[in-house]
C-alpha cells in the first residue's frame, strides 16, 4: 500500500500545541518530543513499524494529544492492516479520533488519505463477505429459509460496504477540493468505483489520475534534468519509477474494465500505452492479441501471441500458453489471408 511521507507532515498550529500542553514542557521534554517525532517518521518511511511505534508511544507519554505522533501511529497500523486484518478496527478508531481533533477543512493529506484508505479497506472487506454469503445462498437454493437467511446477512454486509465506501469517497473528494494528493485521491476513487461496478465513474477518476500523473512525471523529469545534486536526482528517479509503475497499474485496470465490456477499441488504446511504456509485460501481449483477434486484425494478433510465448514464464500446458500456440498454428502465413 502506498503511503504519504510523514516527515513532511506539518506540525500542529500554535493553538493546537497550546491545547496539548506543549508550551508547558521543559526544555528536555521538548527536545525528546522532537526526537521522537522525527525518528518515528523516519522509521515509518523505512517500513520499520515496530520501532516507529515504540518511539510514538514514548512521545505520546510526553504529549498525549500530539497530532503528528497520532497520525504516525495510525499509519503504522494501516500499513500493516493488509497482512493483519485485525488491525483495521484500531485503524478506523485512530483515524476517526484524529479527524475529530480538528475542523474538516483543517486536515491535511495524512489524515484524510489515511481515513479514506481505511474506509476503503473496510468497505472492500464487507463487499467480499456479502459476495461470499450470496454464493452460499445459491448453494442452498432448495432450502428457502436458509437461502433467505444468507441473503439477509449478505444485504447487511452490502449496506456496510456502501457506508464505508461513502466515508472513503468523502475523504478523497476533500483532498481533491483542497488540491492535495490529487493523483492518488482520484486513483483511490477509481478503485472504489470498480468495487461498486460503476464503470463510468471508474473511467472518469482513472483519466483524472492519469492526467495528474503526467504532470507529476513531467515535473520530476525537469528536476532530474536540472538538479546538480546527486541525492536529489536519485530520489527523483525513484519517485519517477514509482509514478510509472502506478500509471501502468491504472492503465491495466482501465484495459480490464474495457475488455470485460467488450469495448475492444478502448482496451486497445490502454494496452498499446502499457506495452509502449514497458515492452516486457508478457501477459499484456496476450490480452492485446485477444483484443486484436476480436477486431479481426489477425496478423497483428498472431504477432502478439508469438511475443507472449517468447516472454512468458508460464509453464507448458497453461491455458493461456495453449491458446496462444493454438492460434499461431491456425494462422500460419500460408493460410493467414484465409483467416482474416
Q: Are 318 and 310 in contact (CB under 8 A)?
A: no
Q: Which of 7-11, 173-177, 208-212, 235-239 has the lowest mean pLDDT?
A: 7-11
| Digit-coded pLDDT (tens) for 235-276 | 999 999 999 999 999 999 999 999 999 999 999 999 999 999
What pLDDT sits at residue 3? 52
Q: Are 95 and 111 in contact (CB under 8 A)?
A: yes
Q: What percent of the chain has pLDDT over 70?
A: 91
Q: Which of 100-114, 229-243, 293-307 has the lowest mean pLDDT?
A: 100-114
Confidence band of 142 (pLDDT split at 50, 70, 90): confident
Residue 17 has pLDDT above 90, yes or no: no
How many residues in the chain?
340
Q: Which residue has the higher pLDDT, 25 or 308?
A: 308
User: Residue for cell digits 482474416?
Assistant: 340
Residue 158 has pLDDT above 60, yes or no: yes
Q: Which of 13-22, 62-71, 82-91 has the lowest mean pLDDT?
A: 13-22
User: Residue for cell digits 472487506?
Assistant: 125
Helices (H), 196-228: 199-226
What pLDDT sits at residue 333? 78
Q: Are 182 and 202 in contact (CB under 8 A)?
A: no
Q: What percent of the chain has pLDDT over 90?
A: 86
User: Residue for cell digits 512468458?
Assistant: 312
- Cell triple for 243: 509514478
Helices vs strands, H then E, count in the chain: 15, 0
User: According to the 3-state scheme, what is the secondary structure of 126-153?
Assistant: HHHHHHHHHHHHHHCCCCHHHHHHHHHH
Q: Which residue has the higher pLDDT, 225 or 340?
A: 225
What pLDDT sits at residue 1? 63
Q: Are 74 and 48 in contact (CB under 8 A)?
A: no
What's the whole-model pTM score? 0.86
Confidence band of 98 (pLDDT split at 50, 70, 90): very high
Q: What are φ and ψ of residue 47, in 5° steps?
A: 65, 30
What pLDDT sits at residue 105? 82
Q: Which residue has the higher pLDDT, 302 or 22?
A: 302
What pLDDT sits at residue 6? 55
Q: What is the mean pLDDT of residues 55-73?
A: 96
Residue 178 has pLDDT above 80, yes or no: yes
Amino acid at each position: 500500500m502506498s503511503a504519504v511521507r510523514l516527515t513532511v507532515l506539518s506540525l500542529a498550529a500554535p493553538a493546537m500545541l497550546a491545547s496539548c500542553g506543549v508550551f508547558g514542557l521543559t526544555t528536555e521534554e521538548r527536545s525528546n518530543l522532537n526526537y521522537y517525532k522525527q525518528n518515528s517518521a523516519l522509521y515509518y518511511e523505512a517500513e520499520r513499524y515496530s520501532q516507529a511505534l515504540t518511539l510514538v508511544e514514548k512521545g505520546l507519554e510526553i504529549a498525549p494529544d500530539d497530532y503528528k505522533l497520532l497520525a504516525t501511529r495510525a499509519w503504522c497500523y494501516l500499513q500493516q492492516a493488509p497482512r493483519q486484518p485485525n488491525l483495521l478496527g484500531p485503524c478506523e478508531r485512530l483515524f476517526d479520533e484524529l479527524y475529530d481533533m480538528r475542523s474538516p477543512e483543517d486536515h491535511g493529506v495524512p489524515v484524510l488519505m489515511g481515513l479514506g484508505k481505511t474506509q476503503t479497506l473496510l468497505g472492500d472487506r464487507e463487499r467480499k463477505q456479502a459476495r461470499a454469503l450470496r454464493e452460499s445462498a445459491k448453494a442452498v437454493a432448495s432450502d428457502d429459509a436458509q437461502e433467505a437467511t444468507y441473503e439477509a446477512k449478505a444485504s447487511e454486509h452490502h449496506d456496510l460496504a456502501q457506508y464505508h465506501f461513502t466515508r472513503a469517497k468523502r475523504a478523497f473528494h476533500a483532498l481533491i477540493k483542497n488540491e492535495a494528493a490529487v493523483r492518488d485521491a482520484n486513483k483511490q476513487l477509481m478503485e472504489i468505483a470498480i468495487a461498486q461496478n460503476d464503470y463510468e465513474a471508474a473511467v472518469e477518476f482513472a483519466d483524472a489520475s492519469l492526467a495528474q500523473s503526467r504532470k507529476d512525471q513531467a515535473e520530476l523529469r525537469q528536476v532530474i534534468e536540472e538538479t546538480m545534486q546527486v541525492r536529489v536526482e536519485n530520489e527523483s528517479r525513484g519517485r519517477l519509477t514509482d509514478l510509472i509503475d502506478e500509471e501502468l497499474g491504472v492503465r491495466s485496470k482501465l484495459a480490464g474494465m474495457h475488455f470485460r465490456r467488450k469495448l475492444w477499441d478502448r482496451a486497445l488504446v490502454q494496452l498499446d500505452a502499457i506495452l509502449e511504456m514497458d515492452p516486457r509485460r508478457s501477459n499484456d501481449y496476450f490480452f492485446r492479441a485477444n483484443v486484436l483477434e476480436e477486431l479481426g486484425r489477425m496478423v497483428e494478433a498472431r504477432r502478439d501471441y508469438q511475443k507472449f510465448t517468447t516472454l512468458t514464464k508460464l509453464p507448458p500446458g497453461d491455458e493461456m500458453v495453449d491458446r496462444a500456440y493454438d492460434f499461431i498454428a491456425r494462422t500460419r502465413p500460408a493460410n493467414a489471408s484465409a483467416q482474416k
